[in-house]
Amino acid sequence: MKKIIVLLFVFLLIFPASSQFENYVEKKIKAVAVVSGEKRGAIIDITVIVTPGNGRVFVSVSPFTEIDMQGSAQLAALTACDLTGEDFLKHNFFYIIEADAPIVGGPSAGGVMTVATIAALKNLTLRDDVFMTGMIYPDGSIGPVGGIPYKLEAAAENGAKIFLIPKGQRFVYVEETKRIQKGPFIFITTQTKRVDVVAYGRDLGVKVIEVENVNDALKYYAGVELKGQISQPTVQKYSDLLKKLADNMKRDAETLYKEFEKVAGWNTKKEVDEKIRIAGDYYSKGYYYSATSMFFTAKIIMRNEIYSKTIKNEKDFSSEAKFIEYELKYLENSIKGYPLGIVSFQIIGAAQERLAEAKSYLERARMSESLSEESLSYLALARERVESAKSWLSLLNEIRRDYLINEEELKRRCNFYLSMFKSLYIYANSIGGYEVLLNSAGERLNLAEYLYSSGYYAGSIFTLIDGMVKVAVSIELIGVRSADELAEKIKDARDSAKNSIGLAEEVSTPILAYSYYEFAETSEGVYRLIYYKLSERIAKTIKSLAGKEQVVNVSYKIPEIPITPEVKSIVEEHIPEIPEFSATLTVAILSLLILLKRRWL
């Protein structure tokens, strides 16, 4: 009780004028952990308090735990809100964690913390004779943990009737140490022993049950099962907009191709022709965003080939870099402070994100060795990123009605996502999240911070969401042991994304969410999982942004870049027929494409 009073006192110091604390809901639950440095379990008393608020998470831990408990609590709160349909930013969350000994904590208590948070959000009554161990994944599934036999023993000693464990962990292995004395000598041996946790629980008078997700656990804790709204997206609503995007990119690709074929070698031309063929195939099947992406990929290869044959000296390079910078800055200034509605927020956000990437590529091009393959590749990426931003902005005049959004609300969302991102990123690293995705997420964080500091809140939000999804998936992949398990996660993510888009349609047109959903349809493996989850997260963000404002008639203006004689692209100059071809340059740009992980548009 003393811990709770102290934590509530801290809350009152931070929010002295708040009288909303009277509306708090408190739930208690017990978790089990392994005592640090020992082969025995310990009971953790967890108190979860949820109040009206603005998306803050407070954690008090005693004694010390070896894993970041703040990150575990953040993930539990966020997952609980996702599963219940609650807006995270309308609540504050307090976690008081107490144990009798230093414990290996954090991940293994994540599932229990999520259950208790859901109970507080929904005011459910929890049984005190049900115990559970298992880390929580962002999709609500329960992940594997260690030390289950020791935790079972501790639960049994503290009145457990039911002990829930992660699916697939009925049989575990523990090490047993034996001391054998022969005369004056003591021999110590270690053996690995296979334990059937269900049978062991039976001997201890506890029913051990495997659970797959939080919903399974709630059936035993509270006798309930969460059921959300079911909805389906209206495909035609997005097809018209995305078809326009694809038409713009196709037209630009065809225009660039006329210059490209004058200088391209046979192998490079063959590569581009194949990309354009695939894009056309996607287009004919109605995968307009995927077609746009493939046209974009073809344009990067073409642009790189043109640069390699036309930029011959520092003056040429400087001229083209200056042209790109001019267009980039003009577009940045044009959309800064742009009036935003929920639909235009997605379009402007997509453009801001792409312009920030263009700026990063331009800086890398200038920092690379003069006129090297790397510098020209980055220059091509910078130019095409600006062009893709133009394509997104061209959709603005298609919007006729929109919800207006308060800029301060966007800034508040940015602050929340930045804080959440950093906490989850640290947590994922501490528990061994998938390194490749975490590295990519770190790059997204840097880009998002630049966008935020520049006042481009829409772009920052989408960049942060992208990074948070990568962090979340890096955690989920820890427990994936087979292709079938990955396929099941992809199927669930697809269903959730489709449903979230349908629900977001109730308030707006979630064009960006549907774009990534469609892109996932043509992607493979882990990237398919990422894009479905990115689609879902964007759709939920769009739905949460809709307030009580009425839809209003709007007329958005597309920024038009004035033609300046002093700033001219080298591509506008005469390009002679050059039959030679450099395979090395093609390999260089394709390597960069692979590093970008297909995240083109």
Of 125, 136, 123, nearest to 31 by C-alpha is 136
Residue 108 known to be catalytic: yes
* pLDDT (tens digit per residue) in 164-222: 999 888 988 877 766 776 667 676 667 778 899 999 999 999 999 999 999 999 999 99
168-182, 260-274, 334-348: segment of lowest average pLDDT: 168-182
**Inter-residue contact 41 to 147 (CB < 8 Å):** yes
Residue 198, burial from CB neighbour count under 10 angstroms (0-12, 13-18, 19+) = middle
Look at residue 527 and tell me whether its pLDDT is greater than 70: yes
- Provide φ and ψ at 536, rounded to 5°: -60, -45
Label each residue of 229-252 as H, E or C: CCCCCCHHHHHHHHHHHHHHHHHH
Mean pLDDT within 291-308: 96
pLDDT at 424 > cutoff 50: yes
| Higher-scoring residue by pLDDT: 484, 591 | 484
Q: What SS3 class is residue 64?
A: coil
Q: What is the 3-state secondary structure (H, E, C) of 503-569?
A: HHCCCCCCHHHHHHHHHHHCCCHHHHHHHHHHHHHHHHHHHHHCCCCCCEECCCCCCCCCCCCCCCC
Catalytic residue among 27, 30, 72, 151: 151
pLDDT at 475: 87
In this predicted structure, what is the pLDDT of residue 569?
A: 62
- The pLDDT of residue 106 is 53
DSSP symbol at 274: H
Which pLDDT tens digit goes with each residue over 369-415? 888 999 999 999 999 999 999 999 999 988 888 888 878 888 888 88
* β-strand partners of 136: 142
In the prediction, which pLDDT does 397 show?
A: 86
Weakest mean pLDDT among 362-366, 424-428, 444-448: 424-428
Q: What is the mean pLDDT of the chain?
A: 85
Taking Cα atoms as reference points, which of 129, 7, 142 lies closest to residue 62? 7
For residue 578, what are its two tokens?
């050059």
C-alpha 197/C-alpha 206 separation (Å) is 10
In DSSP terms, 444 is beta-bridged to none
pLDDT of residue 268: 94
Average pLDDT of the segment spanning 128-133: 96
Q: Give 511's pLDDT tier (boundaries 50, 70, 90).
A: very high
Token pair for 502: 């349908």
Instruction: Specify the higher pLDDT residue, 378 or 336.
Output: 378
Q: Classify 194 as helix, strand or coil.
A: strand
- Structure-model confidence comparison of residues 178 and 25, the more confident one: 25
65 pLDDT higher than 90: no
CATH of 2-221, picked from 2.60.120.10, 3.30.110.30, 3.40.50.2300, 3.30.230.10, is 3.30.230.10
The stretch 301-309 carries a mean pLDDT of: 95
Separation between Cα atoms, residue 67 and residue 453, nearest integer Å: 31
The mean per-residue pLDDT over the stretch 301-305 comes to 96
Q: How confident is the model at residue 575 (pLDDT cuts 50, 70, 90)?
A: very low
List phi, psi (to 5°) of 541.
Answer: -65, -45
Question: What is the model's pLDDT at position 594?
Answer: 44
Q: What residues contact 111, with CB distance under 8 A and at least 6 apart?
A: 132, 133, 134, 135, 136, 142, 164, 214, 217
Predicted confidence (pLDDT) at residue 70 exceeds the cutoff of 80: no
The confidence band for 150, taking pLDDT boundaries of 50, 70 and 90, is: very high
What is the DSSP track for 403-437?
Answer: -B--HHHHHHHHHHHHHHHHHHHHHHHHTT--HHH
Least confident of 13-22, 64-73, 324-333, 376-385: 13-22
Percent of the chain exceeding pLDDT 90 equals 54
Q: Which of 63-72, 336-345, 395-404 shows the lowest per-residue confidence on average (mean pLDDT)?
A: 63-72
User: Which 3 state secondary structure label does DSSP give 310?
Assistant: helix
Helix ranges restricted to H, 431-482:
435-453, 457-476
Residue intervals of the chain classified under CATH 3.30.230.10 are 2-221
Query: What beta strand segments (E) does 116-197 contain?
Result: 130-132, 135-136, 142-143, 162-166, 171-182, 185-196
Quick one: average pLDDT of 100-110? 69
> Higher-confidence residue: 599 or 352?
352
Range of lowest pLDDT (90-99, 278-287, 403-412, 460-469): 403-412
Lowest-pLDDT range, 3-17, 87-101, 208-222, 524-538?
3-17
Whether 109 has a pLDDT exceeding 60, the answer reads: yes
Nearest to 576 by CA among 296, 312, 372: 312
- Please give the pLDDT value at position 137: 86
Which is the catalytic residue, given 108, 344, 375, 515? 108
Of 130-144, 201-215, 298-312, 376-390, which gets the smallest average pLDDT? 130-144
Q: Is the pTM of this model over 0.75?
A: yes
In this model, does residue 552 exceed pLDDT 70? yes
